[in-house]
Amino acid sequence: MDAQVNKTVLQNGIRILTQKMPHALSVSMGVWVNVGARDENPAENGLSHFIEHMIFKGTRQRTAFQIAKEFDAIGGHTNAFTTMENTCYHARVMNTHTDTMVEILSDIFLNSVFDPREVENERPVILQEIRMVDENPDEYVHLLSGQNFWGDNPLGRSILGSPENIIQFEAEQIKTYFHRLYQPDRIIISLAGNLAHNAIIDKVGPAFDSIKPGNGIPGRITPQSRSQVDLHYRQLEQVHICLGAPGLSITDPRRYAYSLLNTILGGNMSSRLFQEIREKRGWAYTVYSFIASHVDTGMFGIYLAVDPLRALEATNLVLAELGKLGTVPVSAAELQGAIEYTKGNLMLASESNENQMVRNAQNEIHFNRIIHLPEVLQKVESVSAAEILALAQSLFEKKKLSLTLLGSVKKRKPFEDILYS
C-alpha cells in the first residue's frame, strides 16, 4: 500500500527521506528541524517563529522578492510553520520543477542573511499576528487554556512569543539562535512524489553536508499539568470554553485507542459531543475534542462556545459525557464506526504526497523509522472497547481536569463545584 521510503544519512547526521509516488504530478519537500517554541527560555520565547518568517526574507543570492517571484514563476506553493517541538519549511511544485524547488529551499535554509532591515520590516507583521490571535476568542482561549494547563513550562507559552520579546529581538540574536539550535542531528529533509532518490541526494547532499555539528541543545523539561478553573472576563456574545485533561505522548503505545476515543467523543459530526450539544440541544455551533501530543506528554482537550446562560449547563454536560466514557464500554457499532472513520482518513491522506512527506518526517523524528500504513491500520483495527474504557478512566479523573473560560462569566465557584465535586 505504501511506496518504499528511501533514507540516506549524511556524514554530519542530516537524514534525507524520499518516497517515490510514480502517478503523482507533483513533488512535496519539507526541511524539518526538531526545534520549536518548547526549546526557548522565557527571554527567547518567539525566536523560533521569528526565524520561520526571516528564512524567506533574503539570502546571499536572492532578495525576499526574488524568492517569492521564483516560486511563483514555477507555479509552486511554499510556506512554513512552527510548533512547540518542530519547525518545517516546505514547498510543493510540479515534478518538472523539482530541481528548482530543491535549490531555492536549500538556499533559503542554508544562506539566509537575517538582514537587520528585514527584521525591522517583519517585526510589525508578527506583532499583528499576535494581535489577530488575541482578538479572535476561539483561538485565544486555546492559548489561555495552555497557560492554565501547563503553567510556567514552555508548553504554556505562545509559539508566537510575547509582544515585549518581539519588540526587543535583533538580527544578531536571531541569527545566533538559528545557528546554535539548527544542528545536523535535528534536521530531516523529506520529499514525496514523482522523483528519484539518487537524483535528490546528488542535489541536496553536498549543500547540507556543509552544516557543522554544534555543542548540543538543552533537554526539554516534562511539565506537571495543573488542575484549576481560570476565568477571563470579556464582553462577548458567547463564552468560549476549553476543558483540558492529561493526555498521552506521541509515542505512547496506547495512541491508537487514544485517537479512537477522541473520534468517539468529539472528533466528527456523529461524535457524542457534537450530537448532544449541537444536534439535540442546539447550544453551540462549534464543539469538538482534540489531541495535543508532545514527545513526552500531552493534553486531551474539548472546546465549545455557548451563550453565557448555557455555559455552566454545557460544561456539566461535557463532564457527564467524560464520565460515561469511563463507566460504560463503547458499543461494538460505535467502535467500528470510529475505526472505519479513522481508516478512511488515513487512506485518503496517503494519496497526497504532501501528507506523505509530513508523515515520513514525523515518523523519523519520533520513531527513527517509517511506520507503514498497513501496520497503522492493523493497530487501529485491533483496538478494543476495554482499552478505550481503561484509557478514559485513567485520563478523565475530575481532580486532574483544568477549565478555561473566556467571555461574560464572572463567578468561578459554580464551575469549581461541578468540576471537583
- Written as nine digits, the cell of 153 is 513550562
Which of 52, 122, 321, 387 is flagged as catalytic? 52
Residue 127 makes CB contacts below 8 A (sequence gap 6+) with 163, 166, 167
| Dist CA 111 CA 28 (whole Å) | 21
Torsion over CA: 61, 64, 65, 71 (sign): positive
Q: Where are the beta strands (DSSP E) in 205-339?
A: 229-233, 239-246, 287-293, 298-306
Q: Is 55 exposed, middle or buried (0-12, 13-18, 19+ CB in 10 A)?
A: buried
| Dist CA 47 CA 32 (whole Å) | 16
Q: Is 252 exposed, middle or buried (0-12, 13-18, 19+ CB in 10 A)?
A: middle
Q: Is 228 exposed, middle or buried (0-12, 13-18, 19+ CB in 10 A)?
A: middle
Verify whether residue 52 is a known catalytic residue.
yes
| Dist CA 365 CA 113 (whole Å) | 27
Catalytic residues: 52
